[in-house]
Amino acid sequence: MRKRFLRLIPLGIFSCLTVPGVTQAKSDPARLFATNCTLCHGADGSGDTASGKAMHAKDLRSDEVQQQSDAALSEVITKGRGKMPAFGAKIKADDVTKLVAYIRSLAKK
Ligand code: HEC
């Protein structure tokens, strides 16, 4: 009985993590991305939005973007580049790092 209960714990933790917006903190990268980035980059990072297309934002999932180092991607987010606004004043360095990881995860979907 006890053993069976223990086996259920990881399952419980897993299902909590997959329910969006319930257990996640405010600095959750998915939420940060949704509020600050999807306008141009789209929810999936494709850049397939009116603003993204007008500004020629690249598909964040593409090799061209993914092959850049974490440092290079963080720098674009922090300092901006071309029509990409700088987010350094708005988003903490820690969260920029999380956003880079999030962008990497978009490519794997
Ligand atoms: C106003 C539209 C806009 C918003 C909002 C925006 N971006 Fe961008 N982003 C761009 C454009 C346009 C580029 C291409 C910049 C260039 O000319 O090189 C870009 C480039 C990038 C790149 C570099 C990819 C490449 O082209 O090599 C990353 C990474 C990135 N954006 C992440 C983000 C993240 C993360 C956010 C939210 C915090 C965000 N962007 C918000 C428009 C936007």
Residue 106 reports pLDDT greater than 90: yes
Residue 10: inside a domain: no
Write the single-letter amino acid at 2.
Answer: R
**Ligand 1 mutation target, pool 40, 48, 51, most atoms within 8 A of CB:** 40
Taking only the tens place, the pLDDT of each residue in 35-69 is 999 999 999 999 999 999 999 999 999 999 999 99
Backbone angles phi, psi at 47, to 5 degrees: 80, 10
The pLDDT assigned to 19 comes to 47
100 lines ligand 1 (CB under 6 A): no
Q: Residue 73: CA atoms inside 13 Å, Cβ hemisphere, count?
A: 21
Inside any domain, residue 45:
yes
Q: How many whole angstroms from 89 Cα to the centroid of ligand 1?
A: 15
Domain region containing 51 = 25-107
Looking at residue 26, its pLDDT comes to: 61
Domain with residue 87: its CATH number is 1.10.760.10
**Domain-embedded: residue 20:** no
- What SS3 state is found at 81? strand
| pLDDT at position 2 | 64
- Please indicate, yes or no, if residue 83 is contained in any of the structural domains: yes
Q: Which of 28, 49, 76 to mutate to test the pocket of ligand 1 (most atoms within 8 A of CB)?
A: 76
What domain count does the chain have? Answer: 1
Ligand 1 center from residue 5 Cα (angstroms): 46
Farthest-apart Cα atoms in the chain, separation = 61
The answer as to whether 32 is a domain residue is yes
Length of the chain: 109
pTM of the complete model: 0.82
pLDDT of residue 16: 46
Q: What is the pLDDT of residues 13-34, one digit of tens each?
A: 454 445 444 454 567 999 999 9
Grouping H, G, I as helix, E, B as strand and the rest as coil, residue 46 is coil
